[in-house]
Structure 1
Amino acid sequence: MIRILTGLAVATGLALTAHAQTTYPLTLQNCGVDVTFQNAPGSVVTVGQAATEVLYSLGLAEKVTGTSVWFTDVLPQYKDVNAGIERLADNDPSFESIVAKRPGLVAVQYEWHVGPQGIVATRDQFSDLGIPTYILPADCAGKDNSVGSDGTRTAMFTMDGIYQGVSELAQIFDVADKGQTLVQDLKAREAAAIEKARALDLKGASALFWFSSAEIDIDPYVAGRKGPPGYMMNALGLTNVIESDEEWPTVSWETIARANPSVIVIAKMDRRRFEADDYEKKLAFLKSDPVTRQMDAVKNDRIVILDAHAMDPSIRNVTALETLAEALPGFDLK
């Protein structure tokens, strides 16, 4: 996209930037809870890679004093700055480790970390210490996190929740202009990827997203029909062979093989909680198991390796759309 800025456009842009300054106190309703900020937080601890990377993308890395819950390497452009920020835990941090940083805000990716039964703590526990919490709305909007191990979607995921999270964090930290720029860029990339895939007219093509498995040869964790992968498949013209509304249901390989997806997308991650976190072991299993190796996607090598973090709600969802849109033309799916 080429943008030509006239003198009027530049002046208007400057006016918009000035107008975008946050007025405090600022109150936002976040995942059903009202959160008030008297001023921009001086520091923030993140519980979730998605929240971390949004803050980095908004130029707020100097505010981040601790991170946690990582699936893969940080986005390449933030490798150096991230190396200088303390990682409180690769997975779930302790309540004490967060409080010890005395943060002005705790930014959270998943409600189950700080929700009513929060495995780190509840929002009330943080509030009692004067520490506000902000959960990325993409994990709450159109979703019931009290049902299923990873929650159940009550409505199809859209990128609106991602853009809302970017805009509201930018507002909280008084950098609304940076939030606006980031959202505009992501929206343009999203639209371009969808247009590219839709031009293929993939009638009848289907897909499966495999995140991981507790054991390599047991029922896998696969993407339900209404989460981010479901949105991606729908946007790109693919049918999800999984009909569950759970975020990541377990489904037997026999059931998946009967559905015979045209394309299989597997997650690549640095995390090693399960054996199947290793994407190379996923590939080896698909090609050797007597059930899975009979699927068309495996026999015809229609397998896409995708960053695991891009399968969960995050700004990486746009990159995932681009990756899939690049791969699909080579699969001869018509």
Structure 2
Amino acid sequence: MKTIPIRWGVAAAVLTLATACGSGTAATTASAPPASRVTSCGLPLTIQAPPRRAVAMEQNAAEIMLTLGLAGRMAGTAYQTDPVLPELAEPYAEVPVLAEHYPGREALLAGKPDFVYSMRASAFAPEAAGSRQDLARLGVPAYLSSNDCEDRSLIPATAEFEAIFKEIDDIATVFGVRERGQAVVADLRRRLEAAGRSAPADLDADVMWYYSGTETPAIAGDTGLPGTITRLLGARNAFADVEQQWPEGNWEEIAARDPDVIVLADLTRGGDGDSAEDKKRFLREDPVASRLTAVRNDRFVVVPGSSVDPSIRSVTAVEQVGQGLARLYSEKESS
């Protein structure tokens, strides 16, 4: 979830891919499909042929590609943070894993990629794959999600679902499966509309999203996806005045705001306060946190950690939180 800050200007560049790697024969002018053009975090990308050896730099990027049916065009993936979606587990298992976290430049290039896709800027840090501009000079186009651009001024003020849908469309366009992408987005839109009605009407609740950590917890500010989901469901973000995606909080300030509900991100990486059960245990035992209204009343909603940043899972997070709020507040009314 956290990224390594990278601050540089994004140069205007056009990336070209002259051949379809791994096809065994050169593409002819007559049979070559039209080039696809997308813009990623201010960087124009022109891709002459649908990639055949793409690398997804983390699980969320891989799951978008697999949802689009692109397993056969993937040369690698990395950085798995949660169990893969059940419906994608079989194709995911066939994709080579290049590294436990982000692959370095040598490990990445050893897979002879013709396209790299990441949803986090930290994938293109010097100690990881290196900058997208450097990859461009090697003839490898690299797409980065608008939620985490290298140039922070290019990141939208809030994380909106329309940006997720556009990203899915961009990736589908690059791979020449745009109709498939449109079908995926149409289904997500339908589910999102229904999920937005799942929370109780006239909901009066302050919600805190708790991602990780115990001594210095990472909580959701107003500009990330949790803020968008909270507004969509008619609740209030307890930290709506904080203009960061995931600021580090402290328990005294959290106690002062005293949220009615806490959404717990369930992470499987094994760190301090990562799993939902670890978070609950800490909250119930800590002398400050245990006095919170949400903790005393056992008002928790659990979502997978990978669903709290923009991804193919984001609509599921709306569904889960909406259903959780409905359950908690129907219980409150009946008690």
1:244 and 2:253 are equivalent in the alignment: no
Counting only pairs closer than 5 Å after superposition, residues 313-328 of structure 1 correspond to structure 2 as 313-328=310-325
Identity of aligned residues (%): 33
Q: Structure 1: which 4+ aligned runs deviate by more than 4 Å?
A: none
User: What is the aligned partner in structure 1 of residue 202 from structure 2?
Assistant: 201
Aligned AA (2:114): G
Answer yes or no: is 1:292 the counterpart of 2:289: yes
Report the Cα distance in structure 1 between the residues aligned to 2:179 and 2:155, rounded to whole angstroms: 31
SS in 1 for 2:197: helix
Structure 2: which amino acid aligns with 1:170? Answer: A
Cα distance in structure 2, aligned partners of 1:312 and 1:220: 17
Does 1:98 find its partner at 2:108? yes
Aligned to 1:156: 158
| Deviation of 1:144 (Å) | 5.6
Tell me if the contact between 2:198 and 2:326 (Cα under 8 Å) persists in the aligned partners. Answer: no
Alignment counterpart, residue 302 of structure 1, candidates 292, 299, 302: 299
Q: Shift of the alpha carbon at 1:96? A: 1.1
Contact 1:139 1:313 in 2 (8 A): no
In the other structure, the counterpart of 1:271 is 269
Rounded Cα–Cα distance in structure 2 between residues aligned with 1:91 and 1:247: 22
Q: Report the counterpart of residue 175 of structure 2 in structure 1.
A: 173
SS in structure 2 at match of 1:276:
coil
CA distance in 2, matches of 1:129, 1:35: 14
Question: Do structure 1's residue 133 and structure 2's residue 131 form an aligned pair?
Answer: no
Q: Which moved more, 1:162-171 or 1:235-244?
A: 235-244
Matched, 1:312 2:312: no
Q: Deviations over 1:295-328 (max 9, x none)?
A: 1111111011110000011111100000011111
> Between Structure 1 and Structure 2, how many residues are aligned?
299
User: C-alpha separation between the residues in 2 aligned to 1:27 and 1:83?
Assistant: 30
Unaligned runs of 5+ in 1: 1-21, 147-151
Match of 2:24 in 1: none
CA distance in 2, matches of 1:315, 1:83: 18
Opposite residue 249 of structure 1, the aligned amino acid is: P
Q: Is the 8 Å Cα contact of residues 24 and 37 (structure 1) preserved in structure 2?
A: no
Name the TM-score, length of structure 1 as normaliser.
0.85
CA distance in 2, matches of 1:137, 1:156: 11
Question: Within 2, Cα distance between the matches of 1:102 and 1:258?
Answer: 53
Task: Please give the TM-score of this superposition, normalised by the length of structure 2.
Answer: 0.85
Q: Deviations for 1:29-49, whole angstroms, at most 9, x for unmatched residues?
A: 211111111111112001121
Distance in 1 (alpha carbons) for counterparts of 2:193 and 2:243: 25
The correspondence of residues 73-152 of structure 1 with structure 2, limited to 5 A, is 73-114=83-124, 119-140=128-149, 145=152
Cα distance, 1:79–1:324 mapped onto 2, change above 3 Å: same
User: How much has 1:154 moved relative to structure 2?
Assistant: 5.5
Secondary structure of the 1:270 match is: coil
Residue of structure 2 in register with 1:8 after alignment: none
**Over aligned residue pairs, what C-alpha RMSD do you find?**
2.0
The 8 Å contact of residues 153 and 245 in structure 1, kept in 2 or not, is answered as: no
Amino acid across the alignment from 1:200: A
| Cα displacement (A) at 1:119 | 4.3
- Map 1:210-229 → 2, pairs under 5 A: 210-213=210-213, 216=214, 218-229=215-226
Cα distance in 1 for residues equivalent to 2:323 and 2:265: 17
Measure the CA separation in 1 of the matches of 2:167 and 2:269: 25
| Rounded Cα–Cα distance in structure 1 between residues aligned with 2:293 and 2:130 | 45
Are the counterparts in 2 of residues 241 and 259 from structure 1 also a CA contact under 8 Å? Answer: yes
Query: Does structure 2 retain, via aligned residues, the 8 Å contact 1:190–1:321?
Result: yes
Aligned to 1:28, what secondary structure does the other structure show?
strand
Is residue 144–residue 154 contact of structure 1 (8 Å, CA) maintained in 2? no
